[in-house]
A and B are shown apart, each in its own frame.
Chain A
Amino acid sequence: MSTADTPINDRFAAEAVAYRPRPAGAVSAIPATGTKASGATAGAAPTGALTVEPATPTSAVSGTGRPRRRNHHAEGLEAGRRSTRTLLWIILAAAMVLYGFPFLYLLFTSFKAPIDTIAVPPTILPKEWTLENYTNALGRSGVLASFINSAQTAIISTLLSLVLAVPAAYGITRYKTPSGRVFIMAALVTRMVPPVAIGIPLASMMSSAGLADTPIALSIAHTTISLPLSIWLMSSFFEAVPNDLEEAATVDGCSRLGALWRVVIPVVSGGIAVTAIFAFLASWNEFLFALLMTAVRSQTTPVVIANFQTQFGLDWGSMTALAAVYSIPVILLTLLLQRKIVAGMTLGAVKG
């Protein structure tokens, strides 16, 4: 409905209309006090902003002078909004450059000739594009095996995190017992311990358990990192699901477990996707535990990438090439689950 069709009976309604952005070509129902003022206003207004045409004064606002002030006020607000939006875009662009540049630099470096990778001063774009670094990096012994180990470890760790975090978070949020509250706080405390402090004891424990140099040992270690976060994330998602849903399912004949499985889990599937991707990424990119706990059979790619830096030099080209290849699966995974992630984040956002 055009604003022209809107009946305006009082000042407040007029203000409301005046503050509202309009589509291009819309005609304001707010009368102007004179042609001069109208012309000035129209000249300042961009497409889609408030337009004012010379109009016959109406009884509602005629002769008061207030609409003119209101128009200026509205324009001021609109201009303010535009400035804020521009500023936000600039900040956003700066943040994107700040966060994205290192990765772009890594990508460009991976296509540089060896001598260009160590140029002084450094160059951003390769002088000559080459795939030599990719050939070197992927041709290095153990790289393919390390990819398989990374995937295997990350999948097991993600599954472990979800299998443990979903029931834990559900129990904590639904039963709200004092021990549950203590448990969730205790889970958070484990995040406060620096991984290096538990890395060596964990490695010793795994070794004593006969699990040294196995993906399962590393997966368990990675679960210690991702589980607390997973419990917290899942708790916030479960909190957002109204109890009425489960009660309705129970009324329809579901058991508590059935309601969880058939009603709650589908509702929080976005949240589970978010949790899964965080757990997967935590394991996929983890370095310290992998360094301490893997050897011949289970070494993961982050350690192999780090091996390009030796006491005798740094093979920048190969390192960046392997790092670029290693980031592809997580980028694809994120894109694949993008919709679920957004849905999951929204679910968490409306909590409470």
Chain B
Amino acid sequence: MSSRITISRIAALGGLSTAVLLAATACGAGGPAATSGSAASTVNVLVEAGGHAELTGVAEQCTKDTGINVNFVELPYDGMFNRLSSEFSSGNVSFDVAALDSVWLPSFKDAVQPIDELFTDEAKKDIFPALVKEANVDGHFIGMPAWTNSEIILYRKDLFEDAKNKTDFKAKFGYDLAAPTTWKQYQDISEFFTKDGMYGTDVKGGVETEWLAHVLQAGSPMVLDANNNVVIDNAAHKDALDFYTSLVKSAPPGAAQVDWAAAQNLFNQGKTAMTRFWAHAYRQIPKDSPVAGKVGAAPMIGGSAGVAGVPGPWYLSVPKATKNSDAAKKFVKCAYDHNDLGIESSLGLASRISAFEKYQDKPGYESFKPLIETLKGQATATRPATAKWQQIVDTVLVPMLQKAVAGGDSATLLADAKKQIQDLLK
């Protein structure tokens, strides 16, 4: 037998033995064997991949303060809802704390524990009103906001401060060029900068949140009223849709397919002069981007009802099925106490007003004042608390917007959407 064959056989045998041994012991290489309830001083936190960074610093501090070790289970956003559904329905969870997107709270309200004791009066004052309202489902607080976000206006400061642009703009529109505060100003500025291969703004046909913010600005609740009646065909929704589609002529072609990633890329590449975008994007502009250092931030524009945005908070919730409730709640409390540590992360967000205010005057955090103003806006509201919301978004709202930005009749589209939503809610 040649030495080569001998070596191959030994290697194969070694590999097989290792695999069998690992299989027999049911070990993985991913970390400590800590599943829910296995150790009171360890909690497993299920988190969307983008939110992991937000909680890393918090977790380290909590370990120092409370002795609780934290393992993160990171999952992509698209798969997280399925995973949560699967584990909650089985009654056997692999995590002790879950970071839940706000739109999932109504779906999982029966699977997570009330944490009313953490919502003290002091805490409620330091959390944006819309979030306090959203965290309360059926009379109980079921999630502590970990971080929140909202769309604000990001604009090209260098273009807005250019002397020629200022003169030309005033000559054409009769008022000074500045960050827009109203729909009309947003339309004018978008039109003005749409020239020489550049566009004034983007129009996102692939996502619904931006249009819903305009609905709030127009003075209507989004899609459903307080009694769960479908109001998508009211005048405010139509005005908001007409405003939304009016910007198509000042936006890059293919609006129906533009989503968050595309819009962010367009802005970071210097193709658009303004974008309505989530506030975290301000701190995520690549250093080698042609617009780095040239971007200003302003609150979201206002309509007849004033400034409004749709908050994008994530909540920390404790599943009923965990055997590690005490440690899990301790972690949630600790995460609230050290909420400002999230701001130091790459995402750079928090949920407490005091945390944002602590950083708002520091260089590099210029987006925080507009964010606070938008989140405190009187018309700002969270999405309707219905378990069918994601289905409504995916099957009705986004397809309707895509048709609208492609030139569809807004009244007809909204009437059709109303019927579809009513059918979904039956």
Contact = CB atoms under 8 A, between A and B. Distances in A.
- Most chain B CB inside 10 Å of its own CB: which residue of A142, A306, A310: A310
Interface in B20-62: 20, 22-23, 26-35, 44, 46, 48-51
Nearest to B292: A115
Interface in A190-224: 199-200, 203-204, 207-208, 211-217, 219
A309 B264 CA distance: 14
B83 A115 contact: no
A203 B86 contact: yes
A303 interface: yes
Cβ-closest 4 pairs across A and B: A310-B50, A298-B28, A307-B49, A297-B28
Interface stretch (A84-92, A148-156, A257-265): A148-156
Contact of A215 (B23, B51, B101): B23
Contacts of B268: 115, 118
B139 interface: no
B100 to A, nearest CB: 12
Contact of B33 (A118, A146, A152, A297): A297
Contact of A306 (B29, B76, B260, B269): B76
B227 interface: no
A217 B74 CA distance: 19
Contacts of A159: 16, 19-20
Given A156-B23, A307-B75, A207 B87 contact: yes
Contact of A313 (B71, B74, B76, B261): B261
Given A212-B92, A214-B28, A306-B76, A292 B261 contact: no
B278 interface: yes
Interface in B281-311: 281, 284, 286, 288-289
A152 B29 contact: yes
B265 interface: yes
Contacts of B82: 199-200, 291-292
Given A292-B82, A313-B50, 16 more contacts: A120-B271, A142-B74, A155-B19, A199-B82, A214-B27, A215-B23, A216-B23, A295-B46, A296-B31, A296-B35, A298-B29, A299-B74, A307-B75, A310-B51, A311-B51, A311-B312
Given A114-B288, A120-B269, A152-B28, A309 B76 contact: yes
Contacts of A213: 28, 35, 94
A262 B395 CA distance: 59
A104 interface: no
A120 B197 CA distance: 12
A182 interface: no
A152 B31 contact: no
Interface size class of B (residues with CB under 8 A): 35 or more
Given A149-B28, A156-B19, A216-B26, A310 B76 contact: yes
B30 A145 contact: yes
Interface string A307-325: 1111111100000000000
B50 A207 contact: no
A135 B284 CA distance: 19
Contact of A291 (B31, B72, B83, B89): B83
B74 A292 contact: no
A310 B49 contact: yes
A308 B74 CA distance: 10
A331 interface: no
Contacts of A199: 82, 86
Interface in B344-387: 347
A119 interface: yes
A292 B71 CA distance: 17
Given A204-B90, A292-B82, A307-B76, A312 B284 contact: yes
B95 interface: yes
A152 B260 CA distance: 37
B328 interface: no
Interface in A294-352: 294-299, 303-304, 306-314
Contacts of B284: 312-313
Nearest to B95: A295
A208 B92 contact: yes
A113 interface: yes
Given A118-B268, A295-B44, A200 B92 contact: no
B408 interface: no
A310 B34 CA distance: 25
A280 B105 CA distance: 39
A199 B16 CA distance: 27
Nearest to A220: B23
A20 B86 CA distance: 66
Contacts of A114: 286, 288
A291 B79 contact: yes
- Most chain B CB inside 10 Å of its own CB: which residue of A119, A208, A294, A312: A312
Contacts of A156: 19-20, 22-23
B175 interface: no
Given A156-B19, A213-B94, A307-B49, A119 B269 contact: yes
Nearest to B86: A200
Given A296-B32, A296-B44, A215 B92 contact: no
B67 interface: no
A148 B15 CA distance: 12
Contacts of B46: 295
B31 A120 contact: no
A214 B90 CA distance: 17
Interface string A278-299: 0000000000100110111111
Nearest to B19: A155
Nearest to A298: B28
A113 B290 CA distance: 13
Nearest to A214: B26
- Most chain A CB inside 10 Å of its own CB: which residue of B74, B75, B280: B74
A200 B15 CA distance: 31
A297 B31 contact: yes
Nearest to A288: B79
A117 to B, nearest CB: 9
A274 to B, nearest CB: 18
Given A118-B269, A204-B90, A207-B94, A145 B31 contact: yes
A214 B31 CA distance: 11
B44 A120 contact: no
B394 to A, nearest CB: 15
B274 interface: no
A144 B34 CA distance: 19
B413 interface: no
A219 B89 contact: no
A271 B77 CA distance: 40
B77 A207 contact: no
